[in-house]
């Protein structure tokens, strides 16, 4: 199965210009995930978002997903006012995603820290937040995907069992965003993908050494990429190969070229005819 190639806009730097989308399209990259950090101009400006959508339509690139902010935003915090603020920030990302024509919004469920009673409180708060966002994304015509977070850190949803523990009790049917760089730090990527199966609705692709988060290009770490591609076939995944590898290439154009080279060499991807 030939899947489209995509990148997170985090690879284009926070304040990338719409003109860069032509460089993306010229390399056969056709899908984007909008990294909606709160400190970028697009987060506040509807006009900037509209200009970005217009240029994407012009060059033939589609926004597949929007990533809700997570730095300083915790959907699982026991402090209710802080949780509500985090949900409101995610709602703004949802508005951006809807304006860009995205199909999914990706969120982090939150942290799993403290004594047992706090961990359980955080789990309940995360479920409240996910329920609210499931309803709102559905109203806007988007799906919700909860990201598989690093297995070697205190996070909610950092194992296939932990992910099921969240998703089995929420309203709606949120998908899983399978982050290869997170899964490869504890539970094996193969075990996680087989367990979650068709709940996997989108990907974050990058490599690591099996010890710590690295976000390097496939082929620069320890992940078995031929096996990964076989697993995608096995679970019937038909979405884009979405790169979130940000530690390679000194310039934006170098990073784009590295994505294409990596995808061809390690994922068996081939660009559309006449491109790249």
User: What was the pLDDT predicted at 274?
Assistant: 56
Given a cut of 80, whether residue 222 has pLDDT beyond it is yes
Q: How far is CA 91 from CA 72, 105, 156, in A?
A: 15, 10, 20
φ, ψ of residue 162 in degrees (nearest 5) = -65, -35
204 confidence band (pLDDT: 50, 70, 90):
very high
User: What was the pLDDT predicted at 258?
Assistant: 93
- Any residues with CB less than 8 A from the CB of 7 and at least 6 apart, and which? 24, 29, 31, 32, 33, 242, 243, 244, 256, 259
First to last CA, the chain: 19
- Residue 269's CB is within 10 A of a number of other CB atoms, namely 20
215 confidence band (pLDDT: 50, 70, 90):
confident
Tens-place pLDDT, residues 174-203: 999 999 999 988 889 999 999 999 999 999
Tens-place pLDDT, residues 44-72: 999 999 999 999 999 999 999 999 999 99
User: What was the pLDDT predicted at 276?
Assistant: 56
- Any residues with CB less than 8 A from the CB of 73 and at least 6 apart, and which? 38, 85, 86, 89, 90
Average pLDDT, the chain: 93
Mean pLDDT lowest among 136-140, 150-154, 226-230: 150-154
Mean pLDDT lowest among 127-136, 143-152, 266-275: 266-275
User: What was the pLDDT predicted at 8?
Assistant: 96
152 confidence band (pLDDT: 50, 70, 90):
confident
Tabulate helix, strand, coil % of the chain (nearest 5).
Answer: 45, 15, 40
User: What was the pLDDT predicted at 151?
Assistant: 87
User: What was the pLDDT predicted at 213?
Assistant: 82
Q: What is the mean pLDDT of residues 131-159?
A: 95
Given a cut of 90, whether residue 224 has pLDDT beyond it is yes
Question: Contact, 250 vs 13, CB < 8 A?
Answer: no
Given a cut of 70, whether residue 36 has pLDDT beyond it is yes
pTM of the model: 0.95
* Element housing 47 (H / E): helix 46-59
Q: What is the mean pLDDT of residues 63-85?
A: 97
Choose among 145, 256, 234: nearest CA to 189: 234
Tens-place pLDDT, residues 2-24: 899 999 999 988 778 899 999 99
DSSP for 53-100 reads HHHHHHHT-EEEEEEPP-TT--TT-S-HHHHHHHHHHHHHHHHHHHHH
158-162's contacts with Cβ under 8 Å and 24+ in sequence apart are 158/112, 158/182, 158/186, 159/186, 159/187, 159/192, 160/187, 160/191, 160/192, 160/195, 160/196, 161/195
- Residue 211's CB is within 10 A of a number of other CB atoms, namely 11
Domains of the chain: 5-266 (3.20.20.150)
Q: What is the mean pLDDT of residues 238-257?
A: 88
Which residue would you say has higher pLDDT here, 154 or 1?
154
Tens-place pLDDT, residues 110-134: 999 999 999 999 999 999 999 999 9
User: What was the pLDDT predicted at 250?
Assistant: 78
User: What was the pLDDT predicted at 275?
Assistant: 61
Strands 31-35 and 62-67: parallel
Choose among 65, 49, 83: nearest CA to 179: 65
């Amino acid at each position: 199965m030939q899947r489209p190639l995509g990148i997170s806009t985090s690879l284009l730097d926070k304040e990338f210009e719409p003109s860069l989308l032509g460089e993306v399209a010229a390399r056969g990259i056709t899908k984007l995930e909008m990294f909606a950090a709160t400190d970028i101009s697009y987060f506040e400006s509807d006009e900037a978002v509209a200009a970005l959508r217009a240029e994407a339509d012009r060059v033939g690139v589609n926004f597949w997903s929007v990533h809700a902010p997570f730095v300083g935003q915790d959907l699982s915090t026991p402090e209710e006012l802080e949780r509500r603020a985090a949900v409101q920030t995610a709602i703004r990302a949802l508005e951006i995603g809807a304006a860009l024509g995205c199909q999914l919004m990706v969120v982090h469920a939150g942290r799993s820290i403290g004594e047992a009673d706090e961990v359980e409180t955080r789990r309940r708060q995360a479920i409240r937040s996910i329920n609210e966002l499931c309803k709102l994304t559905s109203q806007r015509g988007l799906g919700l995907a909860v990201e598989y977070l690093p297995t070697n850190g205190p996070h909610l949803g950092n194992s296939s069992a932990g992910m099921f523990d969240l998703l089995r009790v929420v309203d709606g049917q949120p998908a899983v965003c399978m982050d290869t760089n997170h899964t490869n730090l504890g539970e094996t990527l193969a075990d996680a993908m087989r367990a979650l199966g068709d709940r996997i609705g989108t990907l974050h692709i990058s490599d690591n050494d099996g010890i710590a988060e690295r976000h390097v290009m496939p082929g620069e770490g320890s992940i078995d990429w031929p096996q990964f591609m076989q697993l995608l076939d096995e679970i019937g995944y038909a979405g884009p190969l979405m790169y979130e590898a940000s530690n390679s290439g000194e310039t934006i154009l170098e990073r784009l070229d590295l994505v294409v080279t990596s995808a061809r060499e390690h994922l068996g991807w081939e660009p559309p005819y006449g491109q790249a």
